[in-house]
Amino acid sequence: MRLAEMTSPQLEALPNRIALWPVGAIEPHGPHAPLGTDTLISVGMCERAAARLENAVVLPPLPFGVTRYGAEFTGAIGIRESTLRAIVLDVAEAVADDGFRRLVIVNNHFEPEQVATLRDAAHEAGALYLDLVRRRNAERLTDEFRRGSCHAGRYETSLVLAEAPELVVGASELPPNEIDMPKAMAAGQTNFVAMGMDRAYCGAPAEATAEEGRATFDTLTDLLVELIEAEA
């Protein structure tokens, strides 16, 4: 159930409801994948989880995030950490006032400042946050994700192919570009170009398949449902 498509009486009649909130970013994902890739993945996870849970409602996504690493490319439209924090706290308060028993934040944009802000804001608001970069969660995802070379690579491109294949253009023509993004960040590199991502991607998008994307969505949805059920 999508909140924006429900009527007020329909929502009021839904007892013990929880809110699933997809969060992402608008930033370059290579020459082949959409700017809204991260948001698209978060929405896909939330909708799949809502189909498996009772009384779960998917909120409209927050498409803007803290995004500076891709600022040299057209299409990187970011917000400040303070803005993101304020939005999360305001929405969490409004959701609680509206009778939801829990807010669950689902993010697939892993710029360090975005992740840190969401962790802190979720804790402050009493919301759940599915932290996919924590080791226990990352270990269940693909090899490319675990290597940290997955920005618009095989991992993310497969997910887009599973959800909206018409949005992927020319991925099969791209050569692999192995970049250890966490290592590069730890070394102080703060933009894609400095990391060697002069086309705003790393990993192997040409190896992406819809089949892998569907399998990864299953795992991501399992992680989300398990988090919610553990906190029920």
Cα distances (Å, whole numbers) of residue 96 to 61, 93, 99: 17, 5, 5
The predicted model gives 80-102 an average pLDDT of 98
pLDDT digits 0-9 by tens, 129-184: 999 999 999 999 999 999 999 999 999 999 999 999 999 999 999 999 999 999 99
d(CA 97, CA 90): 11
**Rounded percentage of the chain residues whose pLDDT exceeds 90:** 99
Sheet holding 56-58: strands in order across? 56-58, 18-23, 102-107, 128-130
The reported pLDDT for the residue numbered 232 is 66
The torsion of the CA quartet 179, 182, 123, 63, rounded to 10 degrees, works out to -30
Which pair of structure tokens corresponds to residue 118? 């969401």
Which pair of structure tokens corresponds to residue 145? 């994700």
The predicted model gives 201-212 an average pLDDT of 98
- The class level of CATH for 3-230 reads alpha beta
